[in-house]
Structure 1
């Protein structure tokens, strides 16, 4: 068993610990910390179950399964926060997930992979296609905010209607990107399979679909429960820790929800599978922008919450910077450790700015 899996296995202990913290009223700070630690391994097992089921159902349905559950943990946390009325945290988590994937994950992958291999290569064609899609997503989340800033007296219902219309367009585009990557141009997107940590593929054994469906169901329910604990304790816990809602949503929540996926991207980069690492990092950012964000906007109508795409201007500036830098670094189809350092340094600067931002 790999070191990564051993760590995730050990972190599972935080599931009963977080429940104990809630039952015995240890305080909001301890509930928040233990619930956050519990979500990390549960997200990893959700990812493992999704990969195993993808092997069983074949490349097309498997690709759709991965596309649907790729950011399930972040979506669950965001939906629960949205239902609780933590709109600013939800919005910050959307931009924070994009920043984390494009700057931190890609940066760590390039840096650690570059330390082991002098230069690594990946498909520049797919990098440019992903960059184009990311540019569209960036424009789409910029427009509603620009309308609010440049209009006098625009009403909240109007901006919500605009956001909902934009959300529908983004979901349609997301569907078309899946069609492109899984059907019409699948040959461009074939970057190989990640090594299954369960080694079922290596042993020549076909994964048990009932077992892994059960694992996926149990982990999803457990993530939902832990997310309830996390969200309920979030505001008092972060206040006691001296953190703002903006920093919590943009930095802490994405790291908690994405930790397992981050580890996968870095691990495969260190095995010189940079194509797969880039697919994880950029693909996750696209899924957040084109699928998760629009779903949350539409869910706002269901929950009766005023969720829209009118973001804090500083968040949008950070996203534009991240997208521009990530596109610049990835456009040539090669990477080295210095490019990784540049991305990580940018994330550090942005993270510090979020920390000191008064909101």
Structure 2
């Protein structure tokens, strides 16, 4: 039987294919598809390396390491898109990552976990705290857009300055959430898994061998560079490939790119949910969305200012509608500390409707 890691190892063969496709100037569609698929196993091994290193360095540093590299793939892809001036794609990718985690990842986890267990329980306090922080994030991205649409035309520089100030506030809040979850109230976030360990290995009882720290540091450096290389290929071919495939920029950014960046996380969340570790599945889905909103988006706003690609938080109104709907539904389902397969269906159905809307959006 093929395991998740075996499948990801085989997918690494797509790396030389994508390199050849890029430098030999094959079809942009081939470059886009092979680079996108090559990112999936690299992101998975980045997560594994981070988890192994976290075992050695301890829960506090390990938690910070996991928090930093948790959405590194999305950050790298978005950075190259920002560098290329594809600001619309960057914004769509950010909102798409939130929507994907809230509806698709959580939906599959709740649905497939619910098929094996009639009702699953999880820690509602941590879920509610994440929900409250996500509400702040929604407000933060709603305000700049609201200012734009309720004024007679705010100057672009003023919008950039407003977004920069909001980004600073969000990063401060993100740092405080790390302090809260890893230090002052860490007991609320204990989900029954050894800090930093691979959830599959934890559940199968494979933990115990001594971790080779420098080996995993090397793996982390190599796969991070690999993700950066493949992200550059992906972004370079994005516009031509999506045009040939008949896809609009909004659909590509909101639906396709987040699935590529989150694929490894998707599988981990579903696997642990099917092992009746719903606490961990919730933590992965909701925590990842929170990190995108409070850390990745603000960092891109700040980086954009310094590389000459001004990025702001003035989003497409329909993207905001989709984010608000996703957050409200996910918060509603996670508030009681119990889940069942029908709630998973509701999340997945909402995601399907939004994906269709983005596909047909002009």
TM-score by length of 2: 0.97
Q: Does 1:34 align with 2:38?
A: no
C-alpha distance in 1, partners of 2:201/2:190?
22
1:281-338: per-residue Cα shift (whole Å, max 9, x none)? 0000000000000000001111111210000000000000000000001100000000
Pair 1:337 & 2:341 matched: yes
Q: Distance in 1 between matches of 2:333 and 2:13?
A: 39
Pick from 302, 315, 322 the counterpart of residue 318 of structure 1: 322
Q: Taking structure 1 as reference, are residues 123 and 196 closer, same or farther at Cα in structure 2, changes over 3 Å only?
A: closer
Shift of 1:196: 5.1
Per the TM alignment, residue 153 of structure 1 is displaced from its structure 2 partner at its CA by 2.3
Compute the displacement of 1:195 (Å): 3.9
Alignment of 1:111-260 (within 5 A): 111-193=111-193, 195=198, 202=206, 204-260=208-264
Does residue 327 (structure 1) correspond to residue 331 (structure 2)? The answer is: yes
- Quick one: distance in 2 between partners of 1:255 and 1:131? 22
- 8 Å contact kept, 1:112–1:270: yes
In structure 2, what is the Cα distance between the partners aligned to 1:186 and 1:106?
Answer: 23
Q: Deviations over 1:70-124 (max 9, x none)?
A: 0000000000110000000000000000000000000000000000000000001
- Unpaired runs of at least 5, structure 2: none
Q: Mapping of 1:5-16 within 5 angstroms?
A: 5-16=5-16
Measure, in 2, the Cα distance between the counterparts of 1:204 and 1:327: 36
Partners of 1:137 and 1:289 within 8 A in 2:
yes
Among candidates 275, 289, 294, match of residue 293 of structure 2: 289
Per mean C-alpha deviation after superposition, the further-off stretch among 119-128 and 191-200 is: 191-200
Contact 1:51 1:196 survives alignment (8 Å): no
How far the C-alpha of 1:203 sits from its partner, in A, is 5.2
Does the Cα contact within 8 Å between 1:130 and 1:282 map onto a contact in 2?
yes
Contact kept in structure 2, 1:108 and 1:266, CA below 8 Å: yes
Structure 1, gaps ≥5 residues long? none
Cα RMSD (Å) of the superposition?
1.3
